[in-house]
């Protein structure tokens, strides 16, 4: 699925194999100045691409004038007995392109695709003020157990579909090492 925002000339599309070097460099640079980063996010993405939790349709790039300027990856997770959940990580935008709606466009397109694919919930560890704009709430309010060491207010969840109970312990893709 392709989304095009004419006002900002942003194209959101599925990542292609030939984008990997651009995505790797984008993640490395965008996380180099991040407040909470271990500097290995780009390596994590390589591992996730080769793992069983990877979903090609939910590996998204943002382009401006045919240049990759943003990236979002949603991978499979499990909450309790529900294996129909996703984790948004990472979300990255080149620093010089931040605050232009690129991250928001990536998130909204990812939500739309995830919902069409039938996923129930998306989890994210991030800024509560930023992600709450998209409907995320602290995961513990949905009876989703916060992993040890994660700040309760920053481990957030978004319910995509209204059916069934979602609560329980989160099992991440093994590549996250959690």
Report the CATH number that the domain containing residue 141 is assigned in CATH. Answer: 3.40.630.30
CB neighbour list of residue 73: distance below 8 Å, 6 or more residues apart = 45, 48, 58, 59, 60, 88, 89, 90
* pLDDT reading at 140 higher than 80: yes
Cα diameter, the chain: 43
Judge contact between 133 and 13, C-beta under 8 A: no
Residue-level pLDDT at 30: 83
Note down the domain range covering 33.
3-176
Residue 48, judged by CB atoms within 10 A of its CB (0-12, 13-18, 19+), counts as buried
**Cut 0.85: pTM above it:** yes
- Count of structural domains within the chain: 1
Worst-scoring range by mean pLDDT, 14-18, 66-70, 117-121, 170-174? 170-174
Alpha carbons 174 and 18: distance in angstroms, whole number: 25
What tens digit of pLDDT does each residue of 54-93 get?
Answer: 999 999 999 999 999 999 999 999 998 888 899 999 999 9
Q: How confident is the model at residue 5 (pLDDT cuts 50, 70, 90)?
A: very low
């Amino acid at each position: 699925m392709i989304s095009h925002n004419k006002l900002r000339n942003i194209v959101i599309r599925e990542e292609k194999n030939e984008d990997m070097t651009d995505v790797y460099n984008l993640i490395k640079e965008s996380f180099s100045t991040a407040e909470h980063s271990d500097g290995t996010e780009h390596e994590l993405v390589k591992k996730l691409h080769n793992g069983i939790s990877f979903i090609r349709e939910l590996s998204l790039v943002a382009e401006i004038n045919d240049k990759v300027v943003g990236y979002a990856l949603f991978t499979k997770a499990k909450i309790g007995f529900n294996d129909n959940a996703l984790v948004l990580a990472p979300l990255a935008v080149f620093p010089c392109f931040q605050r232009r709606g690129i991250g928001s466009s990536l998130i909204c397109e990812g939500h739309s695709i995830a919902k069409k694919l039938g996923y129930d919930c998306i989890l994210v560890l991030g800024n509560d003020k930023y992600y709450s704009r998209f409907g995320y709430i602290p995961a513990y309010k949905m009876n989703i157990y916060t992993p040890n060491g994660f700040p309760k207010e920053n481990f957030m969840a978004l319910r995509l579909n209204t059916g069934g109970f979602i609560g329980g312990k989160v099992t991440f893709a093994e590549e996250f090492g959690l």
